[in-house]
Chains A and B, each alone.
Chain A
Amino acid sequence: MDVNANWLSVPIVLPLIGAAVALLVSSRVTPKQTRTQRNIALVTSVTNLFVALFLLWQTAGQDQRVALQIGLWPAPFGITLVADAFSAIMLTLTGLLMLCVMVYAAGTLDEREGLNFYPLLLFLLMGVNGAFVAGDLFNLYVFFEVLLMASFVLLSLGGRPGQVNGGLRYVLLNLMASTIFLAVTGVVYGTLGTLNLAHLAQRMDAAPDSLRVVVAGMLLVAYGSKAGIFPLFFWLPASYHTPHPAVTAIFGGLLTKVGIYALFRMYPLLFPDLLTQWQPLILSIAALTMLVGVFGAMAVNTIRRVLSFHVISQVGYMVMGLGLALSGNQLAAGFGMAAGIFYIVHHMIVKTALLMAGGAAELTVGTGRLKRGYLGGLVKRSPVLAGVFFVAAFSLAGVPPSSGFISKLGLLQVALDAQQWWIAGVSLLVSLLTLMSMIRLWQKGFAGPQEDVVAPLRRPNLRLTVAPIALLVAVSLAIGVFSGPFFEWSSVAARQVLDRQGYISTVAPTDQILPIGEQSH
């Protein structure tokens, strides 16, 4: 069935419309206007989620791709938006997480409420959605910048010294990555004369090896530092614990995954044969990322810092999926990619739930410090919150029957099939250490008695706070229990990501300029 390609513009334009309309009522900062902005944002993100689900059904359900040539300019000359099953899965997850975080923010946000929080979330949604459907390198860069700017403002919203400090590190290190990305975009355009991904995929095969190595390496650095892989993750633990918990939750769930998405998209499309030689490099980066993340989590002592370090170690698992997908064997590549995509799905849901629960605990108690029993006794004080945290934490660690168990099992199986014993061993070890770290959080933060009482500034509205966490935890359990269809969809997505010819023929780049009006559509 053919779908109207203009649907693809909706995930970008809809949040922009929502943000614009929300700005219209922002002349004065009053609680009433904040509520109006919040309602606009909620309506927008619900609609966005439905459109994303529609696209998911069109692509993953029907096993096809959708491409939109904006303004009817033919492919390599105009802006192209492409969605395949992988994009649609990411769009859907983004929509779901954004909706949950908005409800959560409604329950927890305090004095910063007036300062256009919800329109900023919509701008962030626009940037992330745009990055998932961008069909050329430069627009990917533009949407990275959109989300970087929105996230920088969200990070420093409220303007406490710690936040500005974290925000500055975040923006400086990310701008460096963006500069490298822009530089490599220039290199590509200067040498190959195109930025359209499908067109690039055609021309990259004929390019000299030196160029391909340079481009692949620079893209690895650029996307890798966005994703927080091993030597480039410093910005993440420096900044993620400083803003409001809702902001931490959406950042931890979404932003690093945009970098991972770009890696998953570019490498199989542009450098299919070259990267089989790079498999050891990518796998060792994955192993180091996992280990550094999990050891870092043991060394820090506030709940959100611990969880931020776990973001890094989890990114290692996804990179491991990519590394396994880079094998020359077609079947193994498909399984590796599918396991990686499945892991992304699991991680985005569980990580956001966990960060939201940790943030809610922090707000309820008044501090997030694990030492000297500041944070504690939450099992008695709010058992529901403790319950959802428990399930989310054990899903992250990979205890059955959660989604974490299935996704780690998938990766492990692929690694063992490919006879990469050492990476399988590392992933098992890190899994164990993650479980230990989660048990430590549970014992210190929730089960143990609270010894020193700190008065919280404002109690969160527990119903609004726990409901989105419970929803995400339920989704995680559902993925774990009914893993069949979900794994089926990730296999479809993986097949589409690895199928270069299909991508190229969907976008259909042309080398001739047809006068407008003479092209057939």
Chain B
Amino acid sequence: MAERYLALLDRILTPILFVLAIIFLIVGHNEPGGGFIAGLVVATAFLMQILARGDDFVRKLIGVYLQPTMGVGLVIAIFSAVLSLPEGAFLLGTWWKISLPGAGVLEIGSPTLFDIGVFLVVSAFVTSYLLELSRPARGNRR
């Protein structure tokens, strides 16, 4: 598992991938991107960590947080769907306007919230899936 070049490379690439994921998440509201893609990008970052430093390293780092993250993501997504119930419909898009001094008005809607939930679920799910997949592969090599 001495993937030395990867271990060097991932110090550069991992932050870039995380920033890219956040950009995708934000941009995804009006342009290509979105929570699902952003989640996959984050999982890619962890995949590189698995390849570079081994799955045990990643498991120790984030293993216990994966399933709770899925739970949090699901709760956020459901929350965004239930938010509009007072207005009479389930899953109706709801918007808030927050005026930022000097920077205009920020419009935040429940679709963004939903996307964040999807992002958390997908990133945690795909990462734990990759961790499980890397387990038997190591067993075979021995």
Contacts and interface: CB of A to CB of B under 8 A. Distances in A.
Q: Interface extent on A, as a size class?
A: 20 to 34
Contacts of B78: 13, 16-17, 20
Contact of A16 (B65, B74, B88): B74
A439 interface: no
A24 B78 CA distance: 14
A464 to B, nearest CB: 26
Contacts of A27: 64-65, 67-68
Contacts of B73: 20
Interface string B51-93: 0000000000000110110111111001001101100111111
14 contacts: A6-B88, A6-B89, A19-B71, A20-B73, A23-B71, A23-B74, A24-B71, A24-B72, A26-B67, A27-B64, A70-B89, A70-B90, A71-B89, A71-B91
Interface of A: 6, 9, 13, 16-17, 19-28, 68-72, 116, 521
A24 B90 contact: no
A20 B88 contact: no
A20 B89 contact: no
Contacts of A72: 88-89, 92
Contacts of B74: 16-17, 19-20, 23
Contacts of B72: 20, 24
B90 A68 contact: yes
A21 B75 contact: yes
B89 A24 contact: no
A13 B75 contact: no
A55 to B, nearest CB: 15
Interface string B101-140: 0000000000000000000000000000000000000000
Q: Interface extent on B, as a size class?
A: 20 to 34
A71 B92 contact: yes
Given A6-B85, A13-B82, A116-B67, A24 B92 contact: no
The 7 A-B pairs of least Cβ separation, nearest first, read: A23-B71, A20-B74, A24-B71, A27-B64, A9-B90, A26-B67, A71-B91
Nearest to A22: B71
A28 B67 CA distance: 10
Contact of A71 (B64, B67, B70, B93): B93
A23 B70 contact: yes
A25 B67 CA distance: 8
Contacts of A116: 67
Nearest to B66: A27
A9 B90 CA distance: 7
A142 to B, nearest CB: 15
Contacts of B71: 19-24, 26
A23 B67 contact: yes
A421 to B, nearest CB: 51
Contacts of B88: 6, 72, 521
Nearest to A69: B89
B39 to A, nearest CB: 16
A20 B90 contact: no
A212 B70 CA distance: 43
Given A71-B89, A71-B91, A71-B93, A17 B68 contact: no
A116 B84 CA distance: 31
Q: Which of B68, B71, B75 has the most CB of A within 10 A?
A: B71
Contacts of B68: 23-27
